[in-house]
Amino acid sequence: MPTRRRSQPSQRRPRRALVTGGAGFIGSHVVDRLVEAGHRVTVLDNFSTGRRALVHPRARIERYDLRRRGLSAVVAKARPEVVVHLAAQASVPRSVAAPLEDADVNVLGTLRLLDAAARAGTRAFVYISTGGAAYGDTEVIPTPEDHPLRPSSPYGVSKVSGERYVECMGALSGMRAMTLRLANVYGPRQDPSGEAGVISIFAKHLLAGEPCTVYGDGEQTRDFVYVGDVADAVVLAIDEPTAVGAVNVSTGNEVSINTIYDLLAAAVGTTARSSHAAPRPGEQRRSVLSPTRARQVLGWVPKTTLETGLGVTVEYFRRGTRTR
């Protein structure tokens, strides 16, 4: 299939965009890209993990939880032509400990938003899903989009369920529906105090001279994609009028957690070694996604090398700031 020439977002017609979770790590970068591309952006966030300081000053903010009644009125007020849905319960360990809460946010919250968007006349819905947790342990590395989905955690199950609702409700309402299955995203603004985001957690501890814990033997592998590249993919998904279905947003490169630790330790300038603990339940051994379809459908390729991205991330945390 021929590669589509990379779109130029700034040349597209400005749209009214609603971004859920737009005050969070990935969401705030997406909002930045959308505002810079000329779109009129409303951020919908309950600020359970997001921060107002991360939101672009030209974006409008609605503090709201997807589980509250009255969501349709809030969405209708924004009159979004496109919805980018990032708000989620995104921790695998938390989903194992509290699967009902996980489903309430990720399944019912998504369905409520889809219903509200359809009622508001939204034309396109871009759903931000997970790659590794959706595919589970696979026989094909890098894993393509047509591989069977075998989630091994409640989080993975809830995100896959959300994908199915997006596909179904999109077809019923006439919304163009697209799912972006993200690899392991890292970069500035990621919360190092959470349970997810091994790079930000390691960077924070290493800079503070604190010990780092690797769960399992550290030879489990992941596909790490820089947050700025992910934000570019979202803008392209909005601007490409024929893009539908599921697309991996990934590098296709397999990197072990031990390697990530060594690279970060070198970037920080320490020879401290990590300690190890028992593997966490629900996490797969290998997770690497094929980026081929993203190049074909969106004209998207990751631009940031792992070494460059890690360097930028370390410098961000070295400055001790979590603002824009």
Q: Are 119 and 76 in contact (CB under 8 A)?
A: yes
What Cα–Cα distance (Å) separates residue 162 from each residue in 142, 158, 168, 179?
23, 6, 10, 10
Sole residue written with tokens 């490409």: 240
Q: What's the length of the chain? A: 324
Question: Which is catalytic among the residues 135, 155, 165, 261?
Answer: 155
Tally of CB atoms within 10 A around 165? 18
Q: Are 89 and 105 in contact (CB under 8 A)?
A: yes
- Nearest-angstrom CA–CA distance, 59 and 78: 12
- Nearest-angstrom CA–CA distance, 15 and 6: 19
Q: Mark whether 155 is an active-site residue.
A: yes
Helix (H) or strand (E) holding 227, with range, is helix 227-239
Tally of CB atoms within 10 A around 146? 9
Catalytic positions are 155
